[in-house]
Amino acid sequence: MKLSVVVPCYNEADGLVELRRRVVAACEAVVGDDFEIVLIDDGSRDQTRSMITRFHDEDRRFVGCLLARNHGHQLALTAGLSVARGERVMVLDADLQDPPELLGPMMELMDQGFDVVYGQRRERTGETYFKKKSASLFYRLLNLMVDTAIPEDTGDFRLMSSRVVEVLQGMPERQRYIRGMVAWIGFRQTAIEYDRDPRFAGETKYPLAKMLRLALDAITAFSTVPLRLATWMGFALAFISCLLILYTLAVWVAGRTVDGWTSLMMIVLLIGGMQMIMIGVLGEYLGRLYMESKRRPIFIIETVLRAETKVPEVARRAAD
């Protein structure tokens, strides 16, 4: 099979019909009939699951990957990738913010020998000022801390070769920041610029808390710089301490040793605060280490709806 399109869906019922129309059209234009569209139901509470089932019943090119519960975007995507069988795999959001029509140009770049073509956002219409600013600040901050350059202003919208997907799926970690992991894998990668549209329907499934969690996951998965903060702060404090010791001695010699409540309080509070922050940083890493050490499966697929496994009779008759 030439192409798999993998789309994680969480409460996306309102936009699925339009998604189907545009993705099928884009795929047919580029690879004819030789593709599959893997729709992942990430434990939705609306009609998403029944719609995926219906799409699969009506069109055997639709593969349903129904998860046992909500696992979050990155794990849902990982589950979908484990089901995909195409020689090339396109990852797409269900909300049509990323145009599926970019498939053609992306395929051309792959034909030139690239293994990954990732979409890079030029413009993001219909998103709040806060979201755009926080996202751009985050990508820059992250790149200050990591050794692998992770492309900025890039989501999970990309086309990958099956060997990249294979390496990606072979990385066993639970804490997945897929766009970073793909950058880390290497091979030849290139960007394709596009303007990001507003959501077609529904509202964002990434409220602030989830965005912060993804950001923390990304930083802790790719960098140990925060752990080193304690060392740097320690050196800085040691230097300041030397100056303060000299000052303390001078004041003592001058015989004015009772003053100093303000400075004492400031020092106690400052050092107390820094220590709490560093314990927090340690906790972030320790907690993740603990969760990884359990070695639980990172996602649970309840059912895979795939033509030849579900209705072999019908498939054979159709082939006759």
Quick check: 162 binds ligand UDP (CB under 6 A)?
A: no
Nearer to ligand UDP, 36 or 95 (CB): 95
**Nearer to Mg ion among residue 199 and residue 306 (C-beta):** 199
The answer to the question of residue 95 lying near Mg ion (CB under 5 A) is yes
Separation between Cα atoms, residue 91 and residue 76, nearest integer Å: 12
Q: Which does 115 bind (CB under 5 to 8 A by kind): ligand UDP, Mg ion, none?
A: none
Q: Does 95 bind ligand UDP (CB under 6 A)?
A: yes
Cβ-in-10-Å burial (0-12, 13-18, 19+) of 227 comes to middle
> Binding of Mg ion at residue 98 (CB under 5 A)?
no
Minimum distance from CB of 128 to Mg ion (Å)? Answer: 12
Among 53, 136, 143, 204, binds ligand UDP (CB under 6 A): 204
Contact 310, 60 (CB under 8 A): no
| Residue 36 interacting partner from Mg ion, ligand UDP, none (CB closer than 5 to 8 Å by kind) | none
In this structure, which amino acid lies at residue 196?
Answer: R
Pair 202, 126: CB distance under 8 Å: no
Q: Residues 145-184: x/- map of binding to Mg ion (CB under 5 A)?
A: ----------------------------------------
DSSP string across 180-206: HHHHHH-SSEEEEEEEEPPPSSS--S-
Nearer to ligand UDP, 97 or 189 (CB): 97
SS (H, E, C) 275-288: HHHHHHHHHHHHHH
Residue 12 within binding range of ligand UDP, rule CB under 6 A? yes
Told to check if 100 binds ligand UDP by CB under 6 A, we report: no
Structure tokens belonging to residue 128: 């709040």
- Cβ(60)–Cβ(15) below 8 Å: no
Burial class (CB in 10 A: 0-12, 13-18, 19+), 232: exposed
Give the number of other Cβ atoms within 10 Å of residue 189's Cβ: 18
Place of tokens 């089932």: 53
Residue 172 Cβ vs Mg ion, minimum distance, rounded to whole Å: 28
For Mg ion, which residue of 44, 48, 78, 97 counts as binding (CB under 5 A)? 97
Q: Which is nearer to Mg ion, 97 or 161 (by Cβ)?
A: 97
Q: Which of 72, 80, 100, 151 binds ligand UDP (CB under 6 A)?
A: 72
DSSP 253-277: HHT--S--HHHHHHHHHHHHHHHHH
Q: Under the rule (CB under 6 A), what is the footprint of ligand UDP?
A: 8-10, 12, 42, 70, 72-73, 76, 93-95, 97, 204-206
